[in-house]
Amino acid sequence: MVVNKIGRKNALLLGGVLVLGLLPIALQGNARILNVLIAALMWGVLASAWDLCMGYARVFSFGHLAFFTIGAYTAGLTARQLGIPPLAAIPLGGVTAAIFGLLIGLLCLRLRGVYIAMVTFGLHMVLQTVIIWGRDITGGKTGVTGFAPLQIGQYIFSPSYPFFSYYIALGIFILLLFIIYRIINSPIGLAFVALRDSEPYAKSLGVNEYKYKLIVFGISAFIAGLIGAVYIHFYGIISPVTLDIPIFLMVLIMFMLGGLGRFPGAVIGAFVITFVTEALRPLLLWRFVALGAIVVAVTVFIPGGLMSIPERVRPFIRRAFGRRHVEEEVS
C-alpha cells in the first residue's frame, strides 16, 4: 500500500515534468506565453526553496527574496566587473547566498517564530538600502546591465530566444527541484519535519536542532541565490526591484496557495500566480489587490492550499462510491 502510494506520487511528478517538456511544442513556440512560463519556472524554484524553510522546517524566514537578490547581484556584478563566465557566476551567486544564509542562521539559532521573521526581514531591508546607496558598485535604483549572457552558440538565454531559453530554464528547474525533493525525502527532511512537529520530542530522540536550522538556511538560501543568478541572466538586468514588497508578497502567496510544506505545491502556486498576475497586468498595481484577496480566500477557505484539495475531496468521493474505496484505503 505504502509503496503503491509513493509510486503513484512519483508517477504524477514524472507526468508533470513530461507535460512541462512538451508545452513549448503544444504552444507552437508562442513567445509571449513561453516567456511567462520561464518566469513561472524560476519563481517555482524560489517558492519551493522558501517553502523548504518555511513549510517543512517551519523556520519563519522572510529573507529568501534577499538571498535571491544576493545571488543575483553576486553573479551579475562578478560577471561584469571580473568577466567571469555565467556558468561560474551562477553557482557563485548560490554559494554567496548560502554563506549569508548560514550567517543569518547563526543569528537565529536561539530564536524562533516571529523573531526569526524579524531578523531575516532585517536582512531584506538592509540589503535594499545598501543596493540603493551603494550606487557606485551596485548601480543604485537603476541597476546594472551589460554582463555576459548565458549563451550556447548563437542562442542566448533571454526573452528573445523563448524556445531555447525555456528548455534551459526547465533543465535548471528540474535539477533544483530534484535536489529539494531528495532533501525532503532524506533523513535531513525527516529532521526538519520532526523539529517542526515537536521540537522537544525531536531533541529527546537525538536531533541536534542547531545543526538542522543551519542546514535549512544554508540549502534554501543556496537554491534561492542560484535561481536569482539565473533570473538576472535571463532578463539581462539586475535591479533592486526584486526586493519590492509586491514581489515579496507574490512569492509568499505562491507557496501559501500551493500548500505550505506540501511539495510540489509551491510550484503549482507559482504557475497559478505568475499567470494570474500576467493576466491582470492591465490593472497595474491594482492587481496586487486581487492577489491580496486570493491570499485571504485561500487562508480562510483552504488553509492547506491547493495540494490539500485531494484529501479534502476524498471523503466525499468515498461516500459517493461506497465501500470499495474505504477498503482500498485500509488495506
Partner 1 sequence: MKILQAKEVTKRFGELAAVKDLTFEVEKGEIFGIAGPNGSGKTTLFNLISGVYSGSGDIIFEGENIHGLRPFQVCHKGVARTFQIPILFPSITVYDNIRVGAHFGVLKGKNEKERINEVIDFVGLRGRENIVAEHVDLFDKRLTMLAGALATQPRLLLVDEPIAGLSPREVRDSVALFQKINRELGITIIIIEHLMKVLVEVSHRLMIINNGEKICIGPPEEVTQNKEVIEVYLGG
- The residue ranges that bind partner 1 (CB under 8 A) are 1-2, 187, 190-191, 193-194, 196-198, 200-209
Could you tell me the smallest distance in angstroms from the CB atom of residue 106 to partner 1?
A: 16
Find where cell 514524472 sits. 14
Distance CA 57, CA 108 (A): 14
Between 107 and 193, name the residue whose CB sits nearer to partner 1: 193
Between 28 and 331, name the residue whose CB sits nearer to partner 1: 331
Between 160 and 198, name the residue whose CB sits nearer to partner 1: 198
Could you tell me the smallest distance in angstroms from the CB atom of residue 1 to partner 1?
A: 7
Between 225 and 261, name the residue whose CB sits nearer to partner 1: 261
Nearest to 247 by CA among 5, 9, 66, 18: 66
Could you tell me the smallest distance in angstroms from the CB atom of residue 203 to partner 1?
A: 4
What's the start-to-end Cα distance of the chain, in Å?
A: 7
Could you tell me the smallest distance in angstroms from the CB atom of residue 190 to partner 1?
A: 6
Between 57 and 270, name the residue whose CB sits nearer to partner 1: 57
Could you tell me the smallest distance in angstroms from the CB atom of residue 144 to partner 1?
A: 44
Between 142 and 186, name the residue whose CB sits nearer to partner 1: 186
Could you tell me the smallest distance in angstroms from the CB atom of residue 209 to partner 1?
A: 7
Between 200 and 282, name the residue whose CB sits nearer to partner 1: 200
Q: Are 254 and 47 in contact (CB under 8 A)?
A: yes
